[in-house]
Amino acid sequence: MDNAQKNTPSAEKRQVFLSPAKVNLFLKVLSKRPDGYHEIRSLMQPVSLYDEVTIEVVQGDGIFVSSDHAGVPGGRDNLAYRAAERLLDAVGVKRKVSISIGKKIPVGAGLGGGSSDAATVLMGLNSLLGCQIDDKRLMGLGAGIGSDVPFFILKGPALASGRGEILKRVKLPRYNYVLVNPGFHVSTAWAYNNLDLTKKTEDNILIYSEEHLDSDRNIRDFLYNDLEAVTAVRYPEITAIKRALVEEGAQGSLMSGSGPTVFGVFQDAGNAEAAFERLKVTLDRAFSVFLAHGL
């Protein structure tokens, strides 16, 4: 885009951006689509657990991705790389783009870290280049990278349908979360492929109004994840973590996405902090425990 080239000086531009994690408060897998994806219905909320994504733009050509986590790939295997590539192609600009990812969100954890980093690169590079692409178009670019990428561009809780890219904003209470990651990776493809859709009951109506979620009982009733049963059979740690969170006062507990991260929901921030401090001591040392709130 000519306008982007005119607005971008030759001097180096560098900025650090925060990429939030997400939790699935509700995840129902409805069917397998002809394109190989699954039709889902989910309620997602971004939470205050962040990766730090540093983007540097200078004159030149090429995209370079690095991370402080050995499990994060470089090159086109990284969604952040593909995000930069798509943005540059979309606006017709050549720049040397260096992306450094400081990982705080566990990898392969059901928290959307890779998709969030990709969304951050789309938005951050758009800003640094002065392209002025609106969020709707950015979300379209993001949908071609990963199903959760548009959600992170929306920047708020949403009801997702389709393969996750069709979004409707919703209003949620400012929940507090204690998240526990048991330290192993679960493949999203494995979880979906091992879900027996023939044994699932009929779809139920998702009620997501703030009024419905306003009581302890309703929080417990609301939390649901079709993939939890699949992952928990192979990894009994998930059930044990759920139990520990509820024993520490969580009003409800659920595995996020394809797992293995489990979260507990607390309406009171003080109760969440107290549970967080206790669980850091009592849980297996291989587990990572995080305190966050909904965004």
Q: State the SS3 of 113-171.
A: HHHHHHHHHHHHHHHHHCCCCCHHHHHHHHHCCCCCHHHHHHCCCEEEECCCCEEEECC
Share of the chain above pLDDT 90, in %: 74
Which of the residues 51, 117, 148, 226 is marked catalytic?
148
pLDDT value at residue 43:
93
pLDDT at 261 over 80: yes
| Token pair 């699954």 in the structure block, residue | 38
What's the whole-number mean pLDDT along residues 224-248?
A: 95
φ, ψ of residue 158 to 5 degrees: the values are: -155, 150
pLDDT at 16 over 50: yes
* Mean pLDDT value of segment 187-192: 86
Catalytic, 148? Answer: yes
Confidence at residue 166, expressed as pLDDT on a 0 to 100 scale: 93
pLDDT for the residue 216: 54
Q: Does the structure show a pLDDT above 80 at 280?
A: yes
Mean pLDDT, rounded, for 51-68: 96
* Domain 171-293: assigned CATH number: 3.30.70.890
Q: Which residue has the higher pLDDT, 214 or 274?
A: 274
Instruction: Give the separation between CA 42 and CA 162, rounded to whole angstroms.
Output: 10
What local confidence, expressed as pLDDT, does residue 195 receive?
87
pLDDT band at 212 (very low <50, low <70, confident <90, very high): low
Amino acid 204: pLDDT:
47
Strand 176-181 to 262-266 pairing: antiparallel
Distance CA 45, CA 50 (A): 13
Instruction: Tell me the mean pLDDT in the region 38-64.
Output: 95
pLDDT at 6 over 80: no
C-beta of residue 20 within 8 angstroms of C-beta of residue 156: no
Q: How confident is the model at residue 74 (pLDDT cuts 50, 70, 90)?
A: confident
Is the pTM higher than 0.75?
yes
CA angle 136, 142, 147 (to 5 degrees): 115
What confidence tier does 136 reach under pLDDT thresholds 50, 70, 90? very high
The fold adopted by the segment(s) 2-168 is Ribosomal Protein S5; domain 2 (3.30.230)
**What average pLDDT score do residues 28-39 get?**
82
What is the rounded CA–CA span in Å between residue 78 and residue 193?
23
Question: In terms of Cα–Cα distance, which of 167, 164, 161 is closest to 135?
Answer: 167
Mean predicted lDDT score pLDDT of the chain: 89
Local confidence band at 196 (pLDDT 50, 70, 90 cut-offs): confident
pLDDT of residue 9: 41
Predicted confidence (pLDDT) at residue 158 exceeds the cutoff of 50: yes
Report pLDDT digits (tens) over 105-130: 999 999 999 999 999 999 999 999 99
Domain boundaries, the chain: 2-168, 171-293
Q: Which of 22, 28, 103, 242 is catalytic?
A: 22
CB contact set of 282 (below 8 Å; sequence gap of 6+): 244
- Answer yes or no: 284 catalytic: no
